[in-house]
């Protein structure tokens, strides 16, 4: 029986696609995603909108937390915004699993800009639906 | 001298516009925003993506926190996702100020669906740039 | 069959007792606790230590989340510290349930000082152990 | 002129002393603290109370964030509780700086038990009072 095609399943995230986020890599318990900031990611003050940064981190979080083949729902997220960016920045989010049991798992997601500076620190928890395997596509 | 046109300034948030969020109301220390969930707000599992819910809450938060005419930057946000939704849902975010001093302020944002059920609870803190008034448009 | 003696069960919290916290009231989904700040609650700068404020809020949270007779474990907490206090302050924490399903529930806890000013805003989530009822004492 | 005696200043934290926490090490931007769990750290269910775990992490956070000689106040903390412990456990908290500018800094604090398992993941932000140096003792 084949492994779930995780990258395909998470890759069909339409909202992330609408925002312009690319999922670069998924491994068990970790994932990386990327977003180039353009004008339509900016807020009313000309800076990258927090929701765009959050959504980038959230896609890496979703990919990492679903990487074991058990459907995982985000239940709690904390994000610190530590450096502002604007159009032209290239942001990368790296998600790593920091704990996991049968029902709950937690992830650290670091968002960096193209110079390697940290833009945001995101910490998320998921609830894992025990029987519901992600369907194999 | 006129008050800053806050609704205009926040209303030029291009990312919120790209996502389809409408700012309904801004008062000193409070704001309301709205998002109708359509297919492009969904994740790979067919549910509303967390980033869409976050961005809705974030716009209400930004509007409320900038409502005093002092530029405010989000520095820390916690969000609990408590009910999933999907296409056809109509979400409303209500932001209310819960504390404010010269440098820091905090806001509670409740996201409800069209039945009045809570979808998410968002708590955010901003850093206020003391001298920098939002330019009057 | 009697209701679980919730106040008794939470009232045996030895750590809260060691810190000097008093549980004032427990109702289904809500609770209130109180702490008078004395010298042994202060940090190295002479201010109330964050852990004392957290523990006060946490006891109200624990009492509210266990008030339905199902054992509830804290899994995620966010706290904003918005006003410093020192010896002589009297802090009160009010916990209110904001969502609850069979496995997860969330609570808002407001910590106020004796003047009614907000000292901290605490938002917590619990995991509910479905079959394990709190034993009736 | 001598450097502030940081370990002394943080070491006078009376609440941490009351709880039984020992500050093991402070370096610029990092710190380690330790707590042996005894009966008076337990909650009404016989498990280590969340406030005790928080206070341990908070002391390491305070030591790391004040390690540059500028007084730093905790403003926002998120904590995930991922493994329960009880009497006899020996917990260690390791705080590391993840960002810092002139006004705000953020720290990751990992709390581990004596087997190396993660007990909690704590992420905290401080506001730095620009002119106020910690007095040299």
A1 part of a folded domain: no
Instruction: Inform me whether the pLDDT recorded for A124 exceeds 60.
Output: yes
pTM of the predicted protein model = 0.92
D120 part of a folded domain: yes
Q: What is the model's pLDDT at position D30?
A: 97
Residue D108, beta-bridge partner list: D96, D123
Reported ipTM: 0.90
Q: Which residue of A has its CA nearest to B39?
A: A14
**Average pLDDT across chain A, whole number:** 90
Three-state SS annotation for chain A: CCCCCHHHHHHCCHHHHHHCCEEEEEECCEEEEEEECCHHHECCCCCECHHHHHHHHHHHHHHHHCCCCEEEEEEEEEEEECCCCCCCCEEEEEEEEEEECCCEEEEEEEEECCCCCEEEEEEEEEEEEEEEECCCC
**Average pLDDT across chain D, whole number:** 90
Q: Which of A2-11, A21-30, D28-37, D80-89 has the lowest mean pLDDT?
A: A2-11
D11 part of a folded domain: yes
Q: For residue B22, what are the domain limits?
A: 6-133
CB contacts, 8 Å: C85 with chain B: none
A47 part of a folded domain: yes
Out of C80, C106, C108, closest to residue B125 by CB: C80
Instruction: Inform me whether the pLDDT recorded for D109 exceeds 60.
Output: yes
| CB–CB contact C51 D59 (8 Å) | yes
CB contacts, 8 Å: D70 with chain C: none
| Residue C61 main-chain phi, psi, to 5 deg | -60, -45
| Residue B39 main-chain phi, psi, to 5 deg | -55, -35
B1 part of a folded domain: no
Q: What is the model's pLDDT at position A6?
A: 58
The reply to whether C73 touches chain A by the CB within 8 Å rule is no
Mutate to test the interface with A, among B23, B45, B69, B70 (most CBs of A within 10 A): B45
Number of structural domains found in chain B: 1
pLDDT band at B126 (very low <50, low <70, confident <90, very high): very high
pLDDT in tens, D36-80: 999 999 998 899 999 999 999 999 999 999 999 899 999 999 999
Out of D83, D101, D125, closest to residue A80 by CB: D125
Side-chain-side CA neighbours of residue D127 (13 Å): 20
CA of C112 to nearest chain B CA: how many angstroms apart? 12
C84 part of a folded domain: yes
Identify whether the C-beta of residue A38 lies closer than 8 Å to the C-beta of residue A19.
no
D91 part of a folded domain: yes
Out of A9, A14, A51, closest to residue B55 by CB: A51
pLDDT in tens, B68-111: 989 999 999 999 999 999 999 999 999 999 999 999 999 999 99
Task: Name the DSSP class of B103.
Answer: S
**Alpha-carbon distance C92 to C31, whole Å?**
11
Q: What is the model's pLDDT at position B45?
A: 84
**Mean pLDDT over residues C47-73, rounded?**
95
pLDDT in tens, B68-79: 989 999 999 999
Q: What is the CATH number of the domain that holds A74?
A: 3.10.129.10
D1 part of a folded domain: no
| CB–CB contact A82 D104 (8 Å) | yes
Residue C72, beta-bridge partner list: C128
**Alpha-carbon distance A135 to A132, whole Å?**
8
pLDDT in tens, C75-133: 999 999 999 999 999 999 999 999 999 999 999 999 999 999 999 999 999 999 875 45
For helices A50-65 and B50-65, angle between their N-to-C axes, nearest 10 degrees: 150
């Amino acid at each position: 029986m084949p492994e779930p095609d995780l990258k395909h399943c998470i890759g069909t995230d339409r909202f992330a696609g609408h925002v312009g986020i690319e999922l670069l890599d998924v491994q068990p318990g970790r994932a990386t995603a990327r977003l180039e900031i353009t004008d339509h990611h900016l807020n009313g003050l000309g800076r990258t909108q927090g929701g765009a940064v959050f959504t980038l981190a959230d896609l890496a979080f979703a990919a990492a937390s679903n990487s074991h083949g058990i459907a995982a729902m985000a239940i709690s997220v904390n994000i610190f915004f530590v450096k502002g960016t604007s159009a032209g920045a290239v942001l990368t989010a790296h998600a790593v699993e920091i704990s996991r049991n049968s029902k709950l798992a937690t992830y650290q997601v670091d968002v960096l800009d193209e110079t390697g500076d940290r833009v945001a620190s995101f910490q998320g928890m998921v609830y894992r639906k025990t029987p519901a395997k992600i369907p194999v596509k």
